[in-house]
Structure formats: C-alpha cells, structure tokens
Structure 1
Amino acid sequence: MSGGELQVVTFGLDAETFAIPVTLVREILDYREPFRIPNGPGFMLGLTDLRGEGVTTVDLRLRLGMPAAVPSLSTRILVVDVPLGARVLTLGLVVDRVLDVSTVDTAQIGPAPDVGTRWASDYIAGVARRAEGFVVFIDMGRIFSDVEAAELSSMATAA
C-alpha cells in the first residue's frame, strides 16, 4: 500500500486481529440473536433489525473458515457497507470483540504472505505488525464471491 494514514476498526476473531477501514463501518451494535432465514448460506445467521431495516447478518468466523463460537458479552455486530462494483451491500458482521478505532501508517501494511496463512489470501488486503502481533486487513469487496453477494443482497431486499 502507498504511504499515508488509514483509520481502521480492529476486531478480534478467536486469537486473531483483523481490521477494516472505518469508512465502511456504519455502526457497532451489541450482539442480539438475528431473525433466522431458511436456506441461506451456512455463514448467514439471518436478519438484524436496525431501526426498522432488516440487515443481512453473517458470522464472520464461519465465512473465514473458523469454527463457530457461542456469543459472549463482548460479541458485537459491525454494520458495514460493502462495495460490490457499482452497488453497496449493507451487512452485519458478527465478531468476537471490537478492539479499537486506530490510525495505521499504510507504509507499514505489507502484502499477505503466500505461505502459512490459514485464510484464502484473495480477500486479504494486507498485514501489519503491531507490538501485540499481526493485524490482517480485510478487503470487504472481495470477501464474498459474486454468487454469495447476490444471494445476500436478494435476502436483504426480500426482508
């Protein structure tokens, strides 16, 4: 990534730390059980009410190939606007905990390593080193396939 600063929301899934640009985050909600929708992808939990609007909610752990976890008091739902080509899909991402909002020097963000990662690198925008370990930057526009994005979008509009 080129030089400059990027403001991000960092969050935890298991022992891992992830980040997404704060410009994509609409709200951070306390966890509440989503309204279940049958026949959705395995990582889709259902719909979360956001002031009368049904927001498609996904378990980010499951989407990234991690095991499911029982929600705790620190579990949050990040309501994000995911850019998908010419449109924007609003999703709720269930995460184990929100850590902070911070500013990162983009010069410190390197490419995802080709070896030793347990996530598909196509949706990793980069990796940065912090005192407490690595932070994986997620490219939200690439985390869902076109088919998955269309399915999630159609479920959101049907709500």
Structure 2
Amino acid sequence: MDEKRQKKNISYLSFYLGDEIFALHVSKVHKILEMMPITVVPHTPDFMKGVINLRGKVLPVIDTRKKFGMPAVEATKKTCLLVTEANIGQDEIMVCLLVDSVQSVLKLDDEEVLPPPGIGSKYQSDFMTGMARVKEKFIMVLDIDKVMSSDELLNLSEIKNAINKTEQKPVEK
C-alpha cells in the first residue's frame, strides 16, 4: 500500500469547557489530576489561577476558560487538571490546564481533522490545529504549544523560576 495514501490514526484527549469540546494530542498530556488546592500567585495574568505542587515540582495552573474568554465557574466534582507539556521558545514547560471535565480519548484519522475556521471563530484559530466532527458535535483540536506561546504566557518560565527561588529561600526568623 502506498504510504501517502495510508490513513494515519491519531489519539486525542477530549475535554469540556462549558458546552464546547476541545482536544489535545495525547502525547502532550502527562496526567489527569482531580482538583486540588491551588496557591494564588500575585501579579500574574487573570487566566493564571496559581500554582500546584506535584511531587516537589511547582506547576503553573491556567484557567482555560478564562484564557479562551469564557466566564469562570465554580469547580465541580468533574473539574480536573490536565498536566500538559508545552514548548515555549526553547523551553519545555509543564503546565496544568483547569478544565470542566475530561470526556474521552478519541482516535481520529488525520483527514477527519479539518482546518480551523478563518472568520467568525469564537476562539482564536491560531490556537487550533483543526476541527473534527464526531457524532454531530464539533471538537476543536488545540495546539498546546501555540496556546502557551501567546504573548501573555511567554513569561511562564520566569514566573516558575521566581516561585522556585522563593521556595528555596530559608525562612528568616
């Protein structure tokens, strides 16, 4: 069989934000965590919810709803954190995305993922690699690297470094 004609089946983790379904390539998702206490960090963008400590590592938590211009909501039993990996410039950064709920792992053929809309999209199409239609619903396939590399997020590594330095300072008596 000709390799160019062979379908490529790719796995995505889908999740809800409100009534909308989004998906990330499974290779970018490291863990799905239940909601846990988040430490607020002052002077950060409004979509940065704070940080969590995951086995000794400080991870920034992004309120994905706010990042996409949606209203914030109270956490529920289904609310969770997706520990993702994003490439920001030369750095690989682990970031938690706060999502309303995880739906499932989807297997999509690359031809099922259509290009993102150019006009009238409620979400920046720059963040999307495409859209897929599954059971009469459209799923927005995100490019986590582009979501995290927007101008507002370029200082994530600086924020993380500042937090790490604060944690390492001895407490003054």
Give the TM-score category using the shorter length. Answer: over 0.9
User: C-alpha displacement at 1:145, in angstroms?
Assistant: 4.0
SS at match of 2:108: strand
SS, match of residue 143 in structure 1: helix
Q: TM-score, normalised by structure 2?
A: 0.86
Match of 1:149 in 2: 153
1:101 aligns to 2:105 (yes or no): yes
Partner residue in 1 for 2:167: none
The structure number with the bigger radius of gyration is 2
Question: Stretches of 4+ moved more than 6 A in 1?
Answer: none
Aligned length: 158
Q: Distance in 1 between matches of 2:40 and 2:88?
A: 24
**Percent identity between the two aligned chains:** 31
How far apart, CA to CA, are the structure 2 residues paired with 1:132 and 1:101?
17
Query: 1:153 deviation in Å?
Result: 1.3
Structure 2 partner of 1:86 = 90
Deviates more, 1:109-118 or 1:139-148: 139-148
Aligned equivalents of 1:145, 1:48: Cα separation in 2: 21
What do the CA deviations read for 1:25-44 (whole angstroms, capped 9, x no partner)? 11110012310100000100
Q: What residue is the counterpart of 1:48 in the other structure?
A: 52
1:17 matches 2:21: yes
Secondary structure of 2:15's partner?
A: strand
Distance in 2 (alpha carbons) for counterparts of 1:147 and 1:134: 28
TM-score, normalised relative to structure 1 = 0.93
**Aligned equivalents of 1:41, 1:120: Cα separation in 2:** 18
Secondary structure at 1:62 match in 2:
helix
